A and B are shown apart, each in its own frame.
Chain A
Amino acid sequence: MFELIGIPPQALFGQMLLGLINGAFYAVLSLGLALIFGLLNVINFTHGAQYMLGAYVAWLLLNFLGINYWLALVLAPVVVGAFGILLERLMLRKLYHLDHLYGLLLTFGLALIIEGVFRNLYGISGQSYPVPPVLTGGYNLGFMFLPLYRGWVVFVSLVVCLGTWLVIEKTKLGSYLRAGTENPTLVQAFGINVPRMITLTYGFGVGLAALAGVLAAPIYQVKPTMGADMIIVVFAVVVIGGMGSIMGSVVTGFMLGLLEGLTKVFYPEASNTVIFVVMAVVLLIKPAGLFGKAS
């Protein structure tokens, strides 16, 4: 077997795949955050909790109603998205005319409450969720072993991110969203129901978080803290990519996942901090983020 710079290829590609999978989650989660921030100007700190809710809804559906993974992949985002719409209608909406900080504090508080409730109900040890039978096993690609489910996660994430990007850049609805991000007052004065568009965008962004949660359930343990662990890194991704940049958040998500994976191979001690180092450097050199526009 050949070696690359003294690293066995199995380890190198294995870690790159792990990185890519983490990157897939970063991308889907930061995409939702960027969408929400763009239109609502709210930094949605509940995003991690909503990701966790997606995983728990899938787990509950399986264990109490016998509803399988494939249905959960659709149902959990709908249920959690609907919960998000309720939050927007009843609470977030009242804060839009205030400083960003209030939306951030509200969503942070909600995240703590949701996490606390699940901690109280299910403890912190976590539940396991089985990999759906069709996606068990994997392929030997020669240079590495590819577990089928992990390939599936990367595939779904790419499809979802690309689909969302296409809708935003190429459709009429997307032009409303882009215009609404710039000047919601004028868009509304053209006859578009902007408050409803805002509600649905929040619901969609939250649904994306829940979808990531369902995808994560068979890989990571389903546990109340899974969102809190993830969201810190995702916020770093959003800051590096540039707040409110859709493509930026997706590309940055995958790239940083890979970077994290590579760091695990070459200098494992830094793998948990490398993203934050990048964040600090980017903030110093280009405060608006790699893809962000300075305002």
Chain B
Amino acid sequence: MPESNPALQLEVSDLHAHYGESHILHGMNFAVPKGEVVTLLGRNGAGKTTTMKAIMGIVQKRGGSIRFEGQELVGLPSNRIARLGLAYCPEERGIFSSLNVTENILLPPAVKPGGMSLEEIHGLFPRLKERGGSQGTKLSGGEAQMLAIARILRTGASLLLLDEPTEGLAPLIVQQIGDIIRGLKGRGYTILLVEQNFRFAATVADRHFVVENGVVVDWLPNDQIEQSTEKLKRYLGV
């Protein structure tokens, strides 16, 4: 077992995961350095979301190793994993319809010191302050996405897992989400981002891992994305 590198906040090695009978991840290998924004790029069904869910312990049938700040996550239930300082923003956003906007923001318990206060979150997302009393279901797609991100900033988690935060949103909102992600990086958060849209990913990320059929087949630092455009298009089938 290699010594864990303190500069790497998350190290995933030979990760396998199953949904019932189907084997989805076939030995994923990648690492996320502290303070970086890292994307998982890949087509629909490549296993990006499953990787996120395996890291969070939502997919329980998993093998291999996931180390967060040196601690093994495989074998832990998802509530224990969250308590270590990982926070998850799901693709479907998961806004609770029986809770209003403010209740949604306040729902995830603080797991570490250093999370943002409600005031800071409102400063970052003024729209959510205005909509504070509305039910979770009465939001536009953009507002719901903002809420899903805002919700995990109070907890003090240092690694944020964002699953396709730009999916189905208007270009202007996508730009705002990009600003937010860059702002969060500036505050020292480490972010693992799942994306299909590599043009968006290129505006926020430091490095990219390409996922195909449940394995990482390639990676590149963000400054090489220009010369690798053709290759990426082939991987993503666009």
Evaluate contact between B99 and A190: CB separation under 8 angstroms: no
Shortest CB distance A67–B (Å): 39
Give the distance in Å from the alpha carbon of A194 to the alpha carbon of B81 in the complex. 13
Option from B58, B98, B99 in Cβ contact (under 8 Å) with A185: B58
Asked if B202 is at the interface of the complex by the 8 Å CB criterion, the answer is no
Shortest CB distance B36–A (Å): 23
Contacts of B78 in A (CB 8 A): 185, 188-189
Mask: chain B, 80-112; 1 = CB below 8 Å from A; 0 = not: 011100011010001011110001001111010
Contacts of B56 in A (CB 8 A): 189
B→A interface (CB under 8 Å): 56-58, 77-79, 81-83, 87-88, 90, 94, 96-99, 103, 106-109, 111, 152, 155
Shortest CB distance A34–B (Å): 14
Asked if A181 is at the interface of the complex by the 8 Å CB criterion, the answer is yes
Evaluate contact between A189 and B103: CB separation under 8 angstroms: no
Binding site secondary structure of chain A: helix
Shortest CB distance A35–B (Å): 14
Give the distance in Å from the alpha carbon of A208 to the alpha carbon of B99 in the complex. 25
Q: A175-B103, A185-B58, A186-B90 are in contact. Are A192 and B109 (CB under 8 A)?
A: yes
Evaluate contact between A191 and B96: CB separation under 8 angstroms: no
Give the distance in Å from the alpha carbon of A175 to the alpha carbon of B79 in the complex. 17
Tally of A-B residue pairs with Cβ under 8 A? 58
Give the distance in Å from the alpha carbon of A190 to the alpha carbon of B81 in the complex. 9
Question: Number of A residues contacting the other chain (C-beta, 8 Å)?
Answer: 19
Option from A175, A188, A190 in Cβ contact (under 8 Å) with B77: A188
Asked if A178 is at the interface of the complex by the 8 Å CB criterion, the answer is yes
Evaluate contact between A191 and B98: CB separation under 8 angstroms: no
Give the distance in Å from the alpha carbon of A181 to the alpha carbon of B106 in the complex. 17
Evaluate contact between A175 and B109: CB separation under 8 angstroms: no
Evaluate contact between B99 and A179: CB separation under 8 angstroms: yes
Contacts of A195 in B (CB 8 A): 77
Give the distance in Å from the alpha carbon of A51 to the alpha carbon of B122 in the complex. 48
Evaluate contact between B98 and A189: CB separation under 8 angstroms: no
Mask: chain A, 148-189; 1 = CB below 8 Å from B; 0 = not: 000000000000000000000000100110110111011111
Shortest CB distance A99–B (Å): 16
Q: A179-B96, A183-B96 are in contact. Are A191 and B107 (CB under 8 A)?
A: no
Give the distance in Å from the alpha carbon of A185 to the alpha carbon of B94 in the complex. 10
Shortest CB distance A290–B (Å): 18
Asked if A128 is at the interface of the complex by the 8 Å CB criterion, the answer is no
Q: What are 18 A-B pairs at a CB distance below 8 A?
A: A175-B103, A175-B106, A179-B96, A182-B96, A182-B97, A183-B94, A188-B78, A188-B79, A188-B82, A189-B57, A189-B78, A189-B81, A189-B82, A190-B88, A190-B152, A191-B108, A192-B109, A195-B77
Q: A175-B106, A191-B155 are in contact. Are A181 and B82 (CB under 8 A)?
A: no
Query: Given A190-B88, A191-B82, 6 other A-B contacts at CB below 8 A?
Result: A183-B94, A186-B88, A190-B82, A190-B155, A193-B79, A194-B79
Evaluate contact between B98 and A178: CB separation under 8 angstroms: yes
Give the distance in Å from the alpha carbon of A186 to the alpha carbon of B109 in the complex. 13
Shortest CB distance A182–B (Å): 5
